[in-house]
Structure 1
């Protein structure tokens, strides 16, 4: 019985490690403007001097990613929400990373929010966010994207976009927000 338990534990560990590696086994195709990953094929855009994912990330990360309102359909339509620790760590595929505030500013340029919602500009998705206390907020009213920069030990910068503004604010690293990755 003990030997069977050990074999199962080894098999589960091997599967878990392979699944993590598979999340990073993505293939970028510049001609087709796509990034094909095990979980999804993402559209990509060349904007602001970088290649960006044109959709919010949907990689599952246990205890550190969530679907808005805990509803899987929201993950399918708007991507997952992540804590800053995961967003700034290893959630982006190999060769891709979390963008800086300046890279968001370069990508957005002088475009108005209405044009940023267009698929060929940024494909902005107002996926809202989840507070660290468990409450969801702003789906359909705002988009919140983590940046690569920490503000201090407990806060990091988010790009928050509403129909009328784009703001670069610092929030608790334990809230859940959207992630867009840029090619390194």
Structure 2
């Protein structure tokens, strides 16, 4: 990890701010209440946002950006300034930008020519969105922004740079083998005559349309469930392929949670074609990827269809969004974070793999989509133990996330 003195960075920043054409008063070298001792050269060099860093502020020289470790994610707090006197003028070209004031531990946003408290500004904006000269701040972010494992242009804990594997998996266009068709164990529909998807689980009965998927490649069987017009695996995939792992390298966790896959492995591509830094030409239509024949890796749009089916709409990440609670399993989540599993999806908190280490078992479910965000990142579904939100973020392709397959 590349680290440099915080005082040195603030000093160099002072020189830059004084030369800014929009003005800007003298900057102090007061490091305020910074919780980490060093400044990191880039977002890629941030450590994992683990419990020991919870609440910590980290500074990144590249872009002069501040990040706070919150709930397992490095959240972008904006361009950092030593104090209020050091901040640049809020001009039209900075409209929507966020600034972090070190000695007051707060973020401000530039609105209508004034810097105002950003209590209503999402800290999950991606770095590129925050730095955009005139764009408004988006509600999705990265963990760390555009560089660090994090969630999306969106979110996830950051890391030091990760070596990319060059081993390949089978092409998504090739049919490795076939799987048995899904057998419905119930004729009960999950939708009402009005087309609204109804819960299939209540306290008194379970009317979910379950089935069985048998993967002929290895003989494993998976429970499936129909939700609205979609048929999903009701368990995480546990097919052993290159660039996939058991959480903690423990085989028992593969049996419990399924395997964790890089995005390239999930879509059935080689790391040097679909991994970090490579735009993967997946074409149009369903992407079978690592899924059995007749099934595919769900797209971002198909995940959104699921959220609408269980929650009525794609809502903002507020208390009105309860999709996560309805999708999470009724056991296995930390600190009373279990869900109601209202639709039989039974999402498990499998955590993720980053740079040969494993994080957040019992805390997070991160499940890949087939939709690429850019050459470095791809979208995934995120479920978190501490709230009911179901969120779609993008994150680095080299991270190991879970896979759920969707029937063609």
Structure 1 length-normalised TM:
0.81
Question: Counterpart of 2:285?
Answer: none
Residue 41, structure 1, aligned to residue 264, structure 2: no
Residue 73, structure 1, aligned to residue 282, structure 2: no
Residue 162, structure 1, aligned to residue 384, structure 2: yes
Q: How many residues in Structure 1 have an aligned counterpart in Structure 2?
A: 163
- Structure 1 residues 81, 119: CA separation in 2 closer, same or farther (over 3 Å shift)? farther
Matches within 5 A, 1:94-105: 94-105=293-304
What is the CA-CA distance between 1:104 and the residue it aligns to? Answer: 1.6
Q: Deviations over 1:124-165 (max 9, x none)?
A: 11101111x222111100100000100111111111111312
Give SS of 2:293's match.
Answer: coil
Q: In 1, Cα distance between the equivalents of 2:219 and 2:250? A: 17
What is the CA-CA distance between 1:27 and the residue it aligns to? Answer: 0.4
Matches within 5 A, 1:47-62: 47-62=227-242
Q: Deviations over 1:51-85 (max 9, x none)?
A: 111100000003x1000000000000110000101
Ranges in structure 1 where 5+ consecutive residues have no aligned partner:
1-16
What is the CA-CA distance between 1:123 and the residue it aligns to? Answer: 0.7
What is the CA-CA distance between 1:23 and the residue it aligns to? Answer: 6.1
Are the counterparts in 1 of residues 263 and 398 from structure 2 also a CA contact under 8 Å? yes
Ranges in structure 2 where 5+ consecutive residues have no aligned partner:
1-169, 186-210, 269-288, 312-321, 330-340
Q: 1:27 aligns with which of 180, 187, 190?
A: 180
Question: Counterpart of 2:346?
Answer: 123
Are the counterparts in 1 of residues 260 and 400 from structure 2 also a CA contact under 8 Å? yes
Q: In 1, Cα distance between the equivalents of 2:343 and 2:264? A: 30
Aligned CA-pair RMSD: 2.1
Are the counterparts in 2 of residues 23 and 59 from structure 1 also a CA contact under 8 Å? no
Give SS of 2:181's match.
Answer: strand
- Structure 1 residues 183, 141: CA separation in 2 closer, same or farther (over 3 Å shift)? same
Q: In 2, Cα distance between the equivalents of 1:119 and 1:76? A: 23
Give SS of 1:51's match.
Answer: strand
Higher-RCO chain (CA-CA 8 Å, sequence separation at least 6):
1
Tell which structure's C-alpha radius of gyration is larger: 2
Are the counterparts in 1 of residues 227 and 343 from structure 2 also a CA contact under 8 Å? no
- Structure 1 residues 29, 179: CA separation in 2 closer, same or farther (over 3 Å shift)? same
Give SS of 1:174's match.
Answer: coil
- Structure 1 residues 24, 74: CA separation in 2 closer, same or farther (over 3 Å shift)? same
- Structure 1 residues 126, 29: CA separation in 2 closer, same or farther (over 3 Å shift)? same
Question: Counterpart of 1:145?
Answer: 367
Runs of 4+ in 1 over 6 A off after TM superposition: none
Question: Counterpart of 2:47?
Answer: none
